Amino acid sequence: MVGKKIRAYREFRGYSQIQLAELSGINVGTIRKYELGIRNPKPDQLEKIATALGLNVSVFLDFNIETVGDVLSLLFSIDDSVNLSLAETSDQKISLTFDNPTMQDFFRKWCQFKNVYEKEKAEILAIEDADKRQEELDKLNATQEEWKLRAMGTTIGCHTIVNKNEGTTLKTQNLI
């Protein structure tokens, strides 16, 4: 899976394997093996690749989220790192907000994308021809994956370090 992500981000940036090898200082044959899934990069190699692509190394990590406990673990970790606010809405749902303008802006855009995605998905699911329905679902899912790639690779502020300070303020340091 990591190899597919490396390739997707490399292609998204418009780099050849040779260019990525030069930028990361990793042999082109090794890059090729990573992308084909023959080898998995060690953490230091993955860090070099991420840096060469202008990404945070975390975009290459997979989280195995299967249970409520898995979700809670991630949320607790997020809450330990940034100012996460929880509130109950009038319809007894819970809203999560972040006291960070960059993150708020991103979530607003993500919400808009998800609304369009869900509307299109509902229309596709109404298609009677199973082959056509699956073809359209595959296209829609590919669009969603591309949106995620773009969001993680191009969102302004994605490389801003956000840490919870001792008070209620955020300490940020821009890495770019």
As a three-state string, the secondary structure of the chain is: CHHHHHHHHHHHHCCCHHHHHHHHCCCHHHHHHHHHCCCCCCHHHHHHHHHHHCCCHHHHCCCCCCCHHHHHHHHHHHHHHCCEEEEECCCCCEEEEECCHHHHHHHHHHHHHHHHHHHHHHHHHCCCCHHHHHHHHHHHHHHHHHHHHHHHHHCCCCCEEEEECCCCCEEEEECC
Asked if the model's pLDDT at residue 124 lies above 70, the reply is yes
Asked if the model's pLDDT at residue 157 lies above 90, the reply is no
Least confident of 41-55, 78-92, 108-122, 125-139: 78-92
| Residues 163/82, Cβ–Cβ less than 8 Å | yes
Task: Round to whole Å and give the CA distance between 60 and 17.
Answer: 17
| Residues 50/32, Cβ–Cβ less than 8 Å | no
Task: Round to whole Å and give the CA distance between 155 and 67.
Answer: 29
pTM value > 0.75? no
Q: Report which listed range, 8-17, 18-27, 46-55, is most confident.
A: 18-27
Q: What's the whole-number mean pLDDT along residues 42-47? A: 94
β-pair partners for 173: 161
**Token pair 């890495």: residue:** 175
pLDDT of residue 165: 54
Q: For the chain, which domains are there? A: 2-60 (1.10.260.40), 68-174 (no CATH)
Confidence label for 85 from pLDDT (cuts 50, 70 and 90): confident
| Average pLDDT score over the chain | 84
Q: What's the whole-number mean pLDDT along residues 118-138? A: 95
pLDDT of residue 57: 86
Task: Round to whole Å and give the CA distance between 117 and 113.
Answer: 6
